[in-house]
Structures are given as C-alpha cells and as structure tokens.
C-alpha cells in the first residue's frame, strides 16, 4: 500500500515549519542557509490557514480520480508510477491555463512566482526513507506520512479510547 500525507488537524500550531521545509526542498541549494545566501526565492506547495482559532495545513491529496488530470488541456498533468500527480517532467509542458487550479477541490494548486505555470506538490522532496520534507519538518505530528489503513486504525483507537473512557453506557 502506498503512503500518503495525512493531517491530524488538532495538532497544527501554525508554525509554518512545513512551508519552510517544502520551499527549501524545492531550491537548488537544498538548505535553508545556502538558499537564503544564494538569493533563491522558492515557493512552498503546502499551505497553512487559520480559521478562527484553528490552524490547519492543506496540501495536494494526489486523488485517485484527480480532477486536475482530467482538466489539463495541455496534457502536462500526469500520474507517476508511485501515484504522484504532477505537471513537471512529463511529455507535455504546462501552459499556465489554470484549469487545474479551478477544478482542484482543495485549492492545493497555485502558480509559480512568475505566474507562468501551475505549481503543486510533486513529492520531489523525499529523503532516503521516502518521507516528504513537510512531514519531516512538522514538530507536532500534525502531518503524518503513513498508509491509510494504519492511519485509520490509529484514529479508531483514539475514538474508541474516548468512547470507553466515558463509561459503558456511552454512545
């Protein structure tokens, strides 16, 4: 089973470490200090928003039935063997028509700094263990890189723990 970037929303403190790490992973220098010294201006492909008191990250879900793939007129958006959906390194080049931006239900696709091509999570940031940069950078465990089955089992454990702690008669 492939691993996915999953989000435990309650754990996000809004520190933006994931955005910083994502941006650095997409530089030539591959390090924060060297990228800053070289004047590189990378863009993060994961987002953190604040809604009321709740801080929450969101990124590309690499959907199985991906609307961005269907909407891409240029044929630049494609799926790699490992499931990653990307508009980079394929047969066709992104022309910046922004159809993918319009159809993405999560708003996870944006534009490059020049406003010429679409920019999205490409998972080209994974280390030797295959873990994405944003997940490595997350200090609270709000971003988790794991198999969906494992994650949902973990969620069930948490939910059952709460239910049973409420007493036998709890719903």
Question: In the complex, which residues of this chain contact another protein (CB under 8 A)?
Answer: 11-16, 48-50, 55, 139-141
Q: How far is the CB of 47 from another protein (least distance, A)?
A: 10
Q: In whole angstroms, what is the distance from residue 64 CA to residue 4 CA?
A: 12
- CB of 49 or CB of 93, closer to another protein: 49
Q: Pick the closest to residue 117 from 150, 93, 83 (CA basis).
A: 93
Residue with tokens 């959907």: 63
- CB of 19 or CB of 120, closer to another protein: 19
- CB of 130 or CB of 141, closer to another protein: 141
Q: How far is the CB of 48 from another protein (least distance, A)?
A: 6
Q: Pick the closest to residue 62 from 125, 3, 22 (CA basis).
A: 3
Q: How far is the CB of 143 from another protein (least distance, A)?
A: 13
Residues facing 58 on adjacent strands: 47
- CB of 20 or CB of 71, closer to another protein: 20
Q: How far is the CB of 104 from another protein (least distance, A)?
A: 21
CA distances from 10 to 49, 141, 142 (A): 13, 10, 7
């Amino acid at each position: 089973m492939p691993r996915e970037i999953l989000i435990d929303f309650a754990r996000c403190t809004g520190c933006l470490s994931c955005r910083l790490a994502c941006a650095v992973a997409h530089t030539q220098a591959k390090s924060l200090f060297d990228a800053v010294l070289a004047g590189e201006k990378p863009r993060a492909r994961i987002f953190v928003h604040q809604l009321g008191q709740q801080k929450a990250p969101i990124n590309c879900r690499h959907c199985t039935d991906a609307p961005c793939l269907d909407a891409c007129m240029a044929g630049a958006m494609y799926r790699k063997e490992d499931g990653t959906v990307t508009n980079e390194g394929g047969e066709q080049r992104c022309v910046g028509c922004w159809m993918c931006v319009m159809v993405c239900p999560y708003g996870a696709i944006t534009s490059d700094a020049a406003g010429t091509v679409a920019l999205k999570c490409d998972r080209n940031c994974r280390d030797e263990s295959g873990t994405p940069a944003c997940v490595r950078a997350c200090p609270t465990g709000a971003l988790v890189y794991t198999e969906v089955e494992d994650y949902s089992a973990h969620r069930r454990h948490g939910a059952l723990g709460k239910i049973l702690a409420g007493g036998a008669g709890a719903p």
